[in-house]
Structure 1
Amino acid sequence: MPDTLASKIAAGEVVQRPANAVKELVENALDAGAGSIELTVQRAGSELIQVADDGCGMGPEDARGCFGRHATSKLRAFEDLETLRTLGFRGEALASIAAVSRVELKTRRAQDEAGTCIRVHGGDIVESTPCAAPTGTTISVRDLFYNVPARRAFLRTPATEFKHIVETFQALALSHPTVAFCLVHDGTEVYRLPAAGGAEPLAQRVADLFGSRYEGTLVPVAEATSYLSIRGVVGAPEVARRSRGDQYVFANGRYVKSRSLEHAAARAFGALLPDGRYPFLALFLDVDPRHLDVNVHPTKTEVKFDDERGVYSFVGAVVKKGLSEAGLALDLAQTAPQAHYDEPLADAPSGGDGSALPPMPAFAPETGAVPASLPPLPTPEAGSEIASGDWGASFTALPREPGGPVPSGVSIPSGASLPSNATLPGEARPAPSPRPFRQATGPLGPIPSRADGSLMEGLDSATFEEVVESPERTVWPFRGRYLLTPVASGLLVVDQRAAHERVLYEAAIAALEGGMGATQQLLFPYTLDLPPDDRALLDELLPDLQALGFDVALGSKGTVEVRGVPADVSVGDERAALPDLLDRYRKSAGVLQLSSRETLARSLARRSAYREGDILEPLAARVLIEKLFTCGDPFTDPAGRPTMIRIAESEIERRFG
């Protein structure tokens, strides 16, 4: 295989989008000991990515050699992998970036009279000459993926790509608060962050990066053992967001993505954290490199600890202790079993002399002990594409105690589901099954049906006609979650939140496809200070947001004046509507393979739908059912879960014997 082809293939692993190139170049500047780093991008990095630093620089030989594959000065022997403290070490980044762009490198060491200029096009060095240059390195990457059109075609919109660059920049700037950073995009200065000093450089850097969003809400956390220490800050529960965008975990100064450690920190909040929200985290783990493997992923954003359970427990306990000292934590016993983690590390590697490395010390902060075992990660979140199982026959006549026997004389029919808090002894709950459907023609339009042609359980076209033609029928609310209404063939049970989501979703889709959503103008408009990533996302979605009913005016430096919100936004919720919708959109866009409009419509529907516990007035309940049956798909919510089930009269009679 030719070297140029091999380099392009390797680049596909390391550099998938401009943000990946930004990460690699800035990390090289940090490894070079830079005290100041300036990042300049044009057209979200597709035209230009330039990183200038005042680090140690390179001599002529290293400047030419750094573009070779697997050329690195950070590793000299295999044993060095066990003591890594640098951010880069494989020698892949510059070779991969140069293979798919036009690169110019200018660098000079303090002891050299002249610098070195290297130009590389598509992986081939086309120029190597002396030049005038300040101490440090400036590298410019132009026309990224110019020679790989297929890769360039997969880039998202400039707003989306710039959002990823901002997120990468924020993580790198947060990881090194004593280094000055600057970000310039298309000639506009987005960030200028001075080197943070004083007693709390991290808190200063958080304030410089995120503005007033977390002012006065940060809780410091810190603890150290013989081989693992944690320091950092977490946000108070009231500033928790609906997305994980502001959760940063660093291992030996390296930004890593660890859902397990994020879960450990969030779990420490217990009941303090509202459902569906994630706390701000900036946690720095310093660990003996022999216990940490960073050579896991091409982009080095994933790491492995040789004692995942111990680290998970330690993170949760330290965060719990910090919250307790701030007067925020509940009893640890509410969220985790108590035990001292004083066992030796599982499969711990040996030291250089053959002796085992020291085990993780017992850690029991004053609020409680470290949990002994790794709790399960969270179940998939509400709104994800998960089939809901067989709801059509879900009806149990008599209650029973959880785990208790079925009352005598009562049989559970085949296919019926038991309540979620009940299990038959020795019987496992059946796994959910997908619910494919196709369109069948009904009197008011298409009616969803199963792949085999049968209508959804308990529902037929007669029921469909009966419901929509009898809007004055009685509707009973049940426990702030369901609506019950009689039909000739039995009882119809409607999930009011799922039904409302369906109604709102189809209304939003109609507005986005040519209509205009109703707007409620605000008597007192308000101004939002959005961070650069949210502002970039707002710029991308602005036409669709206006179609949904938002009336906004864009200002400078991330300010947005909100003058009107969609009519479905409830009174008192106007100020949170826009930032909350952006959070939900970002969260959904990362997991759902949908168009931006579908994702936006889903996000708005989930945000504005009735909450569990809302008791509807009889008129509102009847209007909801009437609107539901005018939808193109009244039987499922946007995620595919059922909006209703029918309990046949014959089934009710059979239950009563």
Structure 2
Amino acid sequence: MQVTYQHIDLWLPERYNIPMHIKKLPNQLIDQIAAGEVVERPASVVKELVENALDAGATDIQIEIQQGGQKSIRITDNGHGIRQQEMEVALQRHATSKIHSLDDLESLLSLGFRGEALPSIASVSRFDMISRHQDADMGWQVTCNGGEISPLKPAAHPVGTTITVHDLFFNTPARRRFLKTERTEFLRIDDLIKRISLSRFEVSFRLSHNGKIIRNSIGNEDKNTQIQRVNQLCGQDFVSNSIEINQQRGGLHMHGWVAKPNWNRAQADRQFFYINGRMIKDKLVGHAIRQAYQDVLFHGRFPAFVLYLDIDPKLVDVNVHPTKHEVRFRDSRLVHDFIFGSIHQSLAETRATHTETVQQATRTELPDYSAMQSGIRFNQSGGSAGHAFNTHTPTQLKEDTATYYQALSQAADQISIPEQSIQDIDDAEFPPLGYAKAQIHGVFILAENQYGLIIVDMHAAHERITYEHMKRKFADQALKNQKLLVPINVNVSNREVAVVEEQHNWFEKLGFEVAVSGDESIVIRKIPALLANADVESLIKDVLSEIVALGSSSAIENQINEIMATMACHGSVRANRILSIMEMNALLRDMENTLRSDQCNHGRPTWVQLDMKQLDKLFLRGQ
């Protein structure tokens, strides 16, 4: 049906057809409009009030919730409090103690700064605030009913502030109807407190709902307390399967924990990222983290992390969104590459070690293999020195998998396996993946180490070994390119033309010859040989739009890596290939010395450990 202006007029209220006059809005309506941006639901109220408490220097914060926050929200803190003469001012719009000039705004470290939270909340609730300043002998109380402020009066209160919000949205019923069930609204509050408490280990948080204590985290800055809180809020499994990060470069410092790729989630519910103590959800940060997990995470799964980025506040703008969840970096590419590099480097070490095979092991260093393996030498680049596999090119690996078996045989001839029983071998002499015992259906290798049974997916393991070798080869030498018989002309925007000019050397390094051919057009004359069958025009467009949006792009590297991963997959050992015990052991040693060997190129695990307790449980031994 064709829609005419007449039809539209029928949908609109009659007043829109009347000439409108410009006039100033009433203050109460201004506050209610602002509340629509700041106060979406009870969790929004809790966020603003708890952040105010943290800005006030509180070390103990109590959050009491009734009926999911719809009946009441009470926040009590032991911060420095509010002076008597500032109590009523605090309920006025744009009144804040956080900033006084543009310089303060550009070097902001406080969580709140706009001065809109309290008046916005007070305009849509029955609001009560009692506070005693640290220099005062008594406290003072101010109440506000839907924006109408009552006179100040004295009240008994320790140093700090208590704010109670009753009947949220009582005067805006349309907003109240959009609220979910009591349980759902409280779960949002619970998740919020979890996120905030992970940002301030030194602060104690207590959360109760309908009189029942739900969370009680004691504040302390020591390492054990931090681990305990992460354990409490993210689970013991996350702590046991995470890697600690502490990286610093220039003025950037990132620390925290990232989960190993094998411990992943069906949804993004274990992702916590903080910038200068402020929890954020940022596209650039998310992109950098996804790229770091790019070829180690199973498709459709989400990584888990608790990370903290410390950066000069002048290099990040937090004043880009009313909820302050989004930020803008002055040098987005620098930040993106730092986050990516820090996580990528840490994940590269996910390979079989004694700590990996059993978490209870206290060893932090790999054992000295030379004591038990005559003639075989290991290097950090993967594989063994003198190992024939290390001399192969990716093409050879793709075309003839027999070369790898020949390499395994040559390496196997150099491995000496102790003749004494497993129980007699000193733990320090045992390689992490132990020694091969058998092969099942030409698919799995069964190995024994000092803790129990190791099961290895032969194809997945060799696929990772091959893939990492190919990546090293391509990193050590420039990508071969080929000249196009017919150059590709691509229409782009002015900004994307500028990107081509700025990133000319980067494109060249990756095997492209891209030049500007007009104000809004570029021409592609050479491409990497690996991308001969790719949709180059779409790829370049994606790369340019990504650089414009995020300051960097990894689309080209990702596509090259995908092709190499496919080559590695086809060039890897297939099922039903029978290996000798010595060849299996050579493969295990390669795994121990190959980066990211805990997962294949598609994110599947390459090996699992079953310790003796788990094996005993399978057969009800000792029960």
Report the TM-score, using the length of structure 1 for normalisation.
0.51
SS state at 2:130 partner: strand
Alpha carbons 1:39, 1:50 under 8 Å: kept? yes
1:327-370 per-residue CA deviation (whole Å, 9 max, x = no partner) reads: 4899599599979xxxxxxxxxxxxxxxxxxxxxxxxxxxxx9x
Query: In structure 2, which of residues 161, 168, 171 is the aligned counterpart of residue 144 of structure 1?
Result: 168
Cα deviation for residue 42 of structure 1 reads: 1.1
CA separation of 1:237 and 1:335: change in aligned 2, threshold 3 A: farther
Alignment partner, residue 65 of structure 1: 89
Name the CA distance, whole Å, in 2 between partners of 1:336 and 1:43: 61
Q: 2:306 aligns with which of 282, 297, 301?
A: 282
Instruction: Give the AA of the match of 1:120.
Output: C
Aligned match of 2:181 in 135, 157, 161?
157
Alignment partner of 1:107 is 2:108:
no
Match of 2:54 among 27, 30, 35: 30
Counterparts of 1:236 and 1:170, CA distance in 2: 22
From 302, 305, 322, give the equivalent of 2:326: 302
Decide whether aligned partners of structure 1 residues 229 and 206 sit closer, same or farther in structure 2, where only a CA change above 3 A counts: same
> What code does the residue aligned with 2:152 have?
S
Residue 47 of structure 1, CA deviation: 0.9
**Partner deviation per Cα, 1:559-592 (whole Å, 9 max, x = no partner):** xxxxxxxxxxxxxxxxxxxxxxxxxxxxxxxxxx
Pair 1:248 & 2:278 matched:
no
Q: 1:181 aligns with which of 178, 181, 205?
A: 205
Letter of the structure 2 residue corresponding to residue 161 of structure 1: E
- Contact map agreement 1:116 1:131 (CA 8 A) in 2: yes
| Aligned-partner residue type, residue 303 of structure 1 | V
Question: Offset at 1:123?
Answer: 1.3
Q: Label 1:283 to 1:215 Cα distance change in 2 as closer, same or farther (>3 A).
A: closer
Aligned to 2:458: none
Say whether 1:191 aligns with 2:191.
no
Structure number with greater CO (CA < 8 Å, separation at least 6) is 2
Three-state SS of the structure 1 residue aligned to 2:149 is strand
Counterpart residue identity of residue 85, structure 2: E
In the alignment, structure 2 segments of 5+ residues that lack a partner are 1-24, 353-463, 477-505, 511-528, 543-623
Give the counterpart of 1:55 among 69, 79, 84.
79
Task: Find the aligned partners of 1:156 and 1:186 in 2 and give their Cα distance.
Answer: 17
Contact 2:227-2:239 at 8 Å conserved across structures: no
Q: 2:260·2:350 contact (CA, 8 Å) conserved in 1?
A: no
Q: Which residue of 2 aligns with 1:313?
A: 337
Superposed, 1:207-606 pairs within 5 Å as 207-325=231-349, 327=351
Show CA shifts across 1:438-479 (max 9, x none): xxxxxxxxxxxxxxxxxxxxxxxxxxxxxxxxxxxxxxxxxx
The answer to whether residue 101 in structure 2 is matched with residue 77 in structure 1 is yes
**DSSP-derived class of the 1:90 partner:** coil
Which residue does the alignment assign to 1:42? Answer: 66
Superposed displacement of residue 243, structure 1: 1.1
Name the SS of the counterpart of 1:283 in structure 2: strand
In 1: Cα distance, 2:337 partner to 2:188 partner = 31
Q: CA deviation at 1:196?
A: 3.4
Partner deviation per Cα, 1:308-333 (whole Å, 9 max, x = no partner): 12211110111122223554899599
Which residue type is aligned with residue 163 of structure 2? I
**Does the aligned pair in 2 maintain the 1:202–1:232 contact within 8 Å?**
no
C-alpha distance in 2, partners of 1:102/1:213?
A: 43
Cα distance in 2 between the residues matched to 1:124 and 1:78: 31
TM-aligned CA deviation for residue 427 of structure 1: 9.4
> CA shift at 1:49, angstroms?
1.0
1:115/1:337 CA distance change after superposition, 3 Å? farther
Instruction: Quickly say closer, same or farther: Cα 1:175–1:10, change in 2 above 3 A.
Output: same
Q: Deviations over 1:367-401 (max 9, x none)?
A: xx9xx99xxxxxxxxxxxxxxxxxxxxxxxxxxx9
Distance 1:34 1:428, change over 3 A: closer
Q: TM-score, normalised by structure 2?
A: 0.53
Q: Distance in 2 between matches of 1:23 and 1:52?
A: 13
Is 1:123 matched with 2:152?
A: no
Task: Check whether the contact 2:144–2:150 (CA below 8 A) recurs between aligned residues.
Answer: yes
- Give the letter aligned to residue 256 of structure 2: G
For 2:343 and 2:98, locate their aligned partners in 1 and report how far apart those are by CA, in whole Å: 34
Question: Structure 2 CA distance, aligned partners of 1:295 and 1:189?
Answer: 35
- Give the match's secondary structure for 1:24: helix
The verdict on how the C-alpha distance between 1:200 and 1:61 changes in structure 2, with shifts beyond 3 A counting, is same
What displacement does 1:274 show? 1.3
Q: Is the 8 A contact 2:78 2:161 kept in 1?
A: yes
Q: Deviations over 1:49-105 (max 9, x none)?
A: 111111111111122211100000111111111110100011000010001001111
Give the aligned partner of residue 438 of structure 1: none
Greater gyration radius? 2
Q: Distance in 1 between matches of 2:268 and 2:336?
A: 18
Counterpart residue identity of residue 85, structure 1:
L
- Deviation of residue 111 (structure 1)? 2.2
Q: Deviations over 1:112-141 (max 9, x none)?
A: 111011111111212410110011111111
Q: Contact conserved, 2:234 with 2:270, CA < 8 A, in 1? A: no
The equivalent residue for 1:96 is 120
1:193·1:209 contact (CA, 8 Å) conserved in 2? no
**What do residues 234-260 of structure 1 show as CA deviations (whole Å, max 9, x unaligned)?**
112232111112111111110011133
Shift of 1:223: 1.2
Q: Deviations over 1:221-280 (max 9, x none)?
A: 111123211111111223211111211111111001113312312321233211111111
Separation (CA, whole Å) in 2 of partners of 1:317 and 1:427: 26
**Amino acid in the other structure paired with 1:143:** D
* Paired AA for residue 9 in structure 1: I
> Across the two proteins, how many residue pairs are aligned to each other?
356
Distance 2:60 2:248 in 1: 30
Read off the aligned partner of 1:246 and give its amino acid letter.
R
Looking at structure 1, the residues matched to 195 and 468 of structure 2 have their Cα atoms a distance apart, in angstroms, of: 32
Correspondent of 1:20 among 31, 40, 44:
44
* Maintained 8 Å contact 2:35/2:120: yes
Tell whether the 8 Å contact from 2:245 to 2:346 is kept in structure 1 after alignment.
yes
- With over 3 angstroms needed to count, the CA separation of the structure-2 counterparts of 1:304 and 1:337, relative to structure 1, is farther
Higher helix fraction (1 or 2): 2
Q: Evaluate the alpha carbon distance shift between residue 422 and residue 55 of structure 1 in structure 2; reply closer, same or farther with a 3 A threshold.
A: closer
Task: Pick closer, same or farther for the CA change 1:200–1:288 going to 2, 3 Å.
Answer: farther
Give the aligned partner of residue 195 of structure 2.
171
CA RMSD of aligned residues (A): 3.1
Q: Report the CA distance shift for 1:153/1:7 in structure 2 as closer, same or farther (over 3 A).
A: same
The share of aligned pairs that are identical, in percent, is 39
3-state DSSP class of the match of 2:295? helix
Q: CA deviation at 1:175?
A: 0.6
1:175 is paired with a residue whose SS is coil
Structure 1 stretches lacking a partner, 5+ long: 340-368, 374-400, 405-420, 432-657
User: Matches of 1:259 and 1:335 in 2, distance apart?
Assistant: 30
State the shift of 1:164 in Å: 1.6
Aligned 8 A contact 1:120 1:127 in 2? no
Relative to 1, partners in 2 of residues 1:278 and 1:130: Cα closer, same or farther, differing over 3 Å?
A: same
